[in-house]
Amino acid sequence: MKKKIIIVGSIFIVIIGLSVFGYKKYQSAQEKKYTVTFWSPLTGDDGAYMDTLVNKFNKQSDSKYTLKHVVTADMYTKISTVVSSKSGIPDLALIHSYKVKEFVNSGILDTADDLIAYQPELKESNYINQAWEAGNIDDVQYTIPLDIHSSAMYYNKDLLEKYGVTSWLDDNIVTFDEIMSLKGKMNEGDYVVNNSLLSWVILAQIHNLGGNISDSDDNPTIDTSEMKEALNDIKKLTDAGLMTPYGEDGYLMFQGGTVLFSTDGTWSSTAHADVEGLNWGVTNVYSTSDEIVTNRAASHMFATLKNEDRTAAKEKVIADFIEYVRENSIEWAKAGQIVASNDVQESEEYQEYPQAFFTSTPEESETLYIYDYVYFSYVLEALDTYATDICYGELDMDEGLATMQKYVEDKISEISTN
């Protein structure tokens, strides 16, 4: 009898265990069914601002679906993995503008047609021109823009007065010649400009000089006279001791009050604002001439990867979320980004943010330049790897140009082979 009770009890326990397991499996399936996964590469402070937007959207939504923001380190590698396996593909992704053409050519990106059909206000006239166009390939719209994030040049107001050069900002174009005019006039430990985001500065100069980083056949053009001139101009600054020293953190030196200009990004305004006693403003990145100015830019874009598991109901939620962001992206402005939504950009509240400078006039908006080269990321890698050494004389100019050219060609060849 005792043995029989033990057996019955064991069976009961097994049944209960299987029931619990089955319920958890069902619960997991239901959660997956009603969760819209949203991947982003926002691993910095901006990820928290996106979390806020997602949470606010979910709170006000009457849908049974929940949007789940997943900050994804090394996102592009993971996208390649899930697309290859056709498993775990996110319903929505936030990608950079320079990845759009690559993804379209790879056949992994859906168009934005269905999203626009659900939310007709997701249209060109409601967004800043450069950001919208960056998602348009051969007259087909693949993405909806969130922002433009660009290079910027912050200035120390107190140091500009100290050295008597506040007039440089009268036209909001600081030139190489103006910077060079301070050669031999700086106090020990003070510098005119730092080397932050130097690759972005160089790309701006390439555009200023009328050059490009590719030809009409998508071959890279790095070893060019324009690139050499851009690098030489910056090397003159380092040779003259006007740029922060090699190996030093020029960004922190600017925050420490010893550098007149810092060429970092629009998003850096949030960090500068937290530095007590730093009296700063923002203008365009320095230029080769007072006739032209360029701020190298990119855009975060909402994109849907091809995914057979994404239902029409989920697409509707995605469209609703993007429209919510369009109307409420003042939250994104807090991250220091130039919002893509014209409605938000033109609001009084947005004008209080430093990055509003870059869209303050039609002429200023035109300074924002987005490269659309399909292999742009390799060009940026090459510049980030070698350009600083070239500009400081640690690497021979001609050798460095040839090395960067080969670096990009080898990366393209590797992709083509694979």
pLDDT at 18 over 70: no
pLDDT at 230 over 80: yes
22 within a domain of the structure (yes/no): no
How many domains is the chain partitioned into structurally?
Answer: 2
Check whether residue 57 and residue 157 sit in a common domain: no
Check whether residue 251 and residue 384 sit in a common domain: yes
Distance CA 400, CA 183 (A): 26
What pLDDT, on the 0 to 100 scale, is given for residue 203?
98
Check whether residue 288 and residue 303 sit in a common domain: no
Closest CA to 383 of 242, 197, 173: 197
Check whether residue 209 and residue 114 sit in a common domain: no
Among 340, 363, 386, the domain boundary falls at 363
Of how many residues is the chain composed?
418
Check whether residue 171 and residue 248 sit in a common domain: yes
Q: What angle do the packed helices 198-208 and 225-239 form, to 10 degrees?
A: 130
DSSP 267-284: GGHHHHHTSTT--EEEEP
Chain centre to alpha carbon of residue 296: 11
pLDDT at 25 over 60: no
Q: What angle do the packed helices 198-208 and 376-391 form, to 10 degrees?
A: 100
Q: Is 158 left (phi over 0), alpha (psi -120 to 50) or beta?
A: alpha
Check whether residue 113 and residue 156 sit in a common domain: no
166 within a domain of the structure (yes/no): yes
What average pLDDT does range 12-17 have in this prediction?
61
What average pLDDT does range 244-252 have in this prediction?
97
Distance CA 121, CA 126 (A): 7
76 within a domain of the structure (yes/no): yes
Tell me, what CATH number does 52's domain have? 3.40.190.10
Check whether residue 191 and residue 179 sit in a common domain: yes
Range of the domain at 321: 34-146+299-363
pLDDT at 8 over 90: no
Check whether residue 79 and residue 193 sit in a common domain: no
Q: What is the pLDDT of residues 277-294, one digit of tens each?
A: 999 999 999 999 999 999
8-state DSSP, 187: P
